[in-house]
Amino acid sequence: MTSPVDVAVTGGAGQIGYALLFRIAAGDLLGPDVPVRLRILEVPQAMQALEGVVMELQDAALPLLEDVETSDDAATAFSGASLALLVGARPRGPGMERGDLLAANGAIFTEQGRALQDAAGDDIRIVVTGNPANTNALIAASAAPDIPRERFTALTRLDHNRALAQLAARTGARVADIRRMTVWGNHSATQVPDLTHATVAGTPATELVERSWVRESFVPTVAQRGAAIIAARGSSSAASAASATIDHARDWLRGTPEGDWTSMSVVSTGAYGVPEGLVSSFPVTCADGAWSIVEGLELDADVAAQVRASVDELEAERAQVRELGLV
């Protein structure tokens, strides 16, 4: 057994939190030999519900779970954390404009960025799941100038996993046979699921599926999947979002498999013409706790145009939060 790792999770009383905390405590993120201490942040009005979740975590008697601490104070929750999964966010309420949503979340992610800088461990790595995830990550990073930029990431792994599932279903392959799927851009309806570099059991995906299917079915199905889940389930994706958050953090910490890559929203280095500093989704490989963007891919003309549109949206979001003085 190695020493325990402190993992902070925000929004622990929410529906993603309910799935995520148990998966972490079961060892799905850090591995079967690494004990975990959970540090959960919630808003004061959700602390009672969170106590119920903590009772259930105790009742699961999970051998790797060393300790659970809860707090409604960000610096207390993030104290000594090596990993922070920022799930809690302000949802869009009735009559709320996008600008109001950015402002409400801006306040949350500014405060949490500062608290991470003040209290988290030197090895802190941050995954933002709470929406608008990419811009929330940008805001948190701006509030924590002493934490290296590359430690702030946002979740597009759910979109990546949805793309894998759609291609597997279309080709009759197993998800495990697919390599090199990519999601570019923003975690929003403008996201760009891209199978042009993917292989299915070693065969290029483009040889197995029609271009018309990609354009008319694959891309819109993946991009609209969140809305389809809400329509069917009456509430938004939760277990799959938790699972993707685990996949993202696990691959970052423990590495992507040889010959494959994943999709993560990371601070742009200027690759593929994405303006430096924007938090955008790219194909990345991970090793030794660090990610690197897969460089040098040829972008299909359709994909390149869609990536430009998604990146334009990210730039517009950045301009809005700049106006609000958040970055």
> Can you tell me which of 8, 9, 14, 81 binds ligand NAX, judged by CB under 6 A?
14
Q: Which residue has the tokens 């940008």?
A: 138
Give the bridge partners for 184, in sequence order. Answer: 192
User: Residue 79's CB: how many other CB atoms inside 10 A?
Assistant: 18
The distance from CA 304 to its chain's CA centroid, rounded to whole angstroms, is: 23
Residue 10 contacts ligand NAX per CB under 6 A: yes
Residue 279 contacts ligand NAX per CB under 6 A: no
Residue 161 contacts ligand NAX per CB under 6 A: no
Total number of residues that touch ligand NAX (CB under 6 A): 28
Residue nearest to ligand NAX (CB): 14
Token representation of residue 100: 């109001």
Residue 279, phi then psi, degrees to nearest 5 = -95, 105
Residue 16 contacts ligand NAX per CB under 6 A: yes
> Can you tell me which of 236, 269, 292, 320 binds ligand NAX, judged by CB under 6 A?
236
For residues 200 and 251, which CB has a smaller minimum distance to ligand NAX in the complex? 251
13 is in an annotated binding site: yes
Residue 249 contacts ligand NAX per CB under 6 A: no
Q: Strand, coil or helix: what is 118?
A: helix
Nearest in space to 89 (alpha carbons), one of 21, 186, 16, 189: 16
The residues, any chain, with a CB within 8 Å of residue 143's CB and separated by 6 or more, are 109, 110, 111, 112, 113, 114, 117
207 membership: H or E segment, kind and range: none
For residues 136 and 306, which CB has a smaller minimum distance to ligand NAX in the complex? 136
For residues 76 and 292, which CB has a smaller minimum distance to ligand NAX in the complex? 76
Q: Strand, coil or helix: what is 309?
A: helix
Among 160, 187, 197, 248, the active-site one is 187
- Contact mark string toward ligand NAX, 83..112, x via CB under 6 A: ----xxxxx----------------x----
Question: Is 190:313 a contact under the CB 8 Å cutoff?
Answer: yes
Over its C-alpha atoms, the chain yields an Rg (Å, rounded) of: 19
Residue 185 contacts ligand NAX per CB under 6 A: no
- 185 DSSP assignment: B
The residues, any chain, with a CB within 8 Å of residue 232's CB and separated by 6 or more, are none
CB of 309 to ligand NAX, least distance (A): 19
CB of 10 to ligand NAX, least distance (A): 4
234 is in an annotated binding site: no
Residue 158 contacts ligand NAX per CB under 6 A: yes
The residues, any chain, with a CB within 8 Å of residue 17's CB and separated by 6 or more, are 9, 11, 40, 53, 87, 88, 242
Establish whether 197 is a catalytic residue: no
**Binding-site residue set for NAD(+):** 11-17, 105, 112, 129-131
Provide the binding-site residues for ligand NAX, judged by CB under 6 A: 10-11, 13-17, 41-43, 46, 87-91, 108, 129-131, 133, 155, 158, 187, 236-238, 241
**Binding-site residue set for substrate:** 92, 98, 131, 162
**Binding-site residue set:** 11-17, 92, 98, 105, 112, 129-131, 162
